[in-house]
Amino acid sequence: MSTSANLLFPPLNPYRTGRLAVDDIHTLYWEECGNPQGVPVLFLHGGPGAGLSPKHRQFFDPAHYRIVLFDQRGAGQSTPLGETRNNTTQLLLADIERLRSLLEIEQWLLFGGSWGSTLALAYAQAHPERCSGLVLRGIFLCTPAEIDWFLNGIRWFFPDAHAQFVAPIAEADRGDLLPAFCKKLFGEDVAQGVAAARAWGRYEGRTIHLLPDPAVEESFGSEAVALGVGRLEAHYFSHQAFFTEDQLIRNVDRIRHLPAVIVQGRYDVICPMLSAWRLHQAWPEASFHIIPDAGHGAFEPGIASALVRATEQFKRDGSL
């Protein structure tokens, strides 16, 4: 049976890392891997707030690509962890532009999954001239329907995980979960906030894959990951990612000239396939790959294989 380990490129270490202070609150961690003279590609992690993993470097041929990765505001090794002040989509887009300028990159390929697909679409629509193409996985448009699905609809498939998710919330408050979680996550009781964040993180970790992955569940339930994921997802969901209504679909015409690949797991319950389908209907020029035996996880074999094929296709052709 194939695993992501034998589908990805070998592990590698950064040849350069840095920290970029973007305001009086936030400092971002960034790194570069692969070929310093290679074709630039920007990896955008999920969440919001999930942060980077060393495995994220392995979707790209390091002999060909100059691989840029960074932890978004409030995530991973960026500081402070889980901070929601000065944290909006518009500021994240400005951060990407500051990083691009710092690294003296004229144009790069965007690679993002889940919230990373959201951010990639938003950045490309704001700065199409800076993008050579997009590789997108597990599409999330951050519409009210998708947010409601995450908070409530997943229980139709994972009632056990959902019951544990809502356990920190009083039964009387479970009719409107998002404000109830925000009250816990951003309240003065630190212990309650951490417990709520860990419940949120475990819920996501339990529902990412088609088949259970206890290591991912444990990772998402750890305080180091859960504080970023729980706090920032609740923050961004509360503001519908600071988008106007259906913004990413309405603005597709700004990027239809760019080559793109959309990879979507058929049984993705975190970001159900309807969002990817809607994006492809609006953007029929994009290459669309439905993985029949996968959920949401980037490292599920079918998804990992399709993502590597996409980066290899861009390597060979410079487009699709």
pTM for the whole thing?
A: 0.96
Three-state DSSP string of 233-245 = HHHHHHCHHHCCC
**pLDDT category, 320, cuts 50, 70, 90?**
very low
- How confident is the model at residue 212, as a pLDDT? 85
Work out the average pLDDT over 83-91: 98
Q: Which of 114, 173, 178, 172 is nearest to 151 (CA)?
A: 178
Q: What is the DSSP secondary-structure string of 58-92? A: GGS-TTTEEEEEEPPTTSTTSBSTT--TT--HHHH
Decide: helix, strand or coil at residue 155. Answer: helix
- How confident is the model at residue 319, as a pLDDT? 52
Work out the average pLDDT over 12-40: 98
Q: Tokens in use for 136? A: 């997108």
| CB within 8 Å of 143: residues ≥ 6 apart | 240, 246, 275
Question: With the CA atoms of 95, 96, 101 and 106 taken in that order, what torsion angle do they form, in degrees rounded to the nearest 10?
Answer: -160
Mean pLDDT score across all residues of the chain: 95
φ and ψ at 44, to 5 degrees?
A: -115, 115
First vs last Cα of the chain: how many Å apart? 29
Distance CA 188, CA 190 (A): 6
Helical residues (DSSP H) of 127-189, grouped into ranges: 144-151, 159-165, 177-185
Helical residues (DSSP H) of the chain, grouped into ranges: 89-102, 115-126, 144-151, 159-165, 177-185, 190-207, 214-221, 223-238, 247-250, 273-282, 301-317
- Bridge partners for 30 per DSSP: 18, 70
Q: Assess if CATH 3.40.50.1820 describes domain 4-143+242-317.
A: yes
Q: pLDDT tens, 218-231? A: 888 888 888 999 99
Sign of the CA dihedral with 97 first, then 30, 71, and 84 last: negative
- How confident is the model at residue 144, as a pLDDT? 97
* Contact of 113 with 138, CB cutoff 8 Å: yes
- How confident is the model at residue 223, as a pLDDT? 83
pLDDT beyond 70 at 12: yes
Enumerate long-range contacts of 146-149, CB under 8 Å, 24 or more apart.
146/271, 146/272, 146/275, 147/178, 147/237, 147/240, 149/272
From the CB of residue 6, how many other CB atoms can be counted at a distance below 10 Å?
A: 9
- Domain segments of the chain as ranges: 4-143+242-317, 145-240
Residues assigned a catalytic role: 114, 268, 296
Distance CA 267, CA 157 (A): 10
* Contact of 205 with 221, CB cutoff 8 Å: yes
What order do you get walking across the sheet with 16-21 strand by strand?
16-21, 27-34, 65-70, 39-44, 108-113, 131-137, 260-265, 287-291
Q: pLDDT tens, 111-158? A: 999 999 999 999 999 999 999 999 999 999 999 999 999 999 999 999
pLDDT more than 70, % of the chain = 98
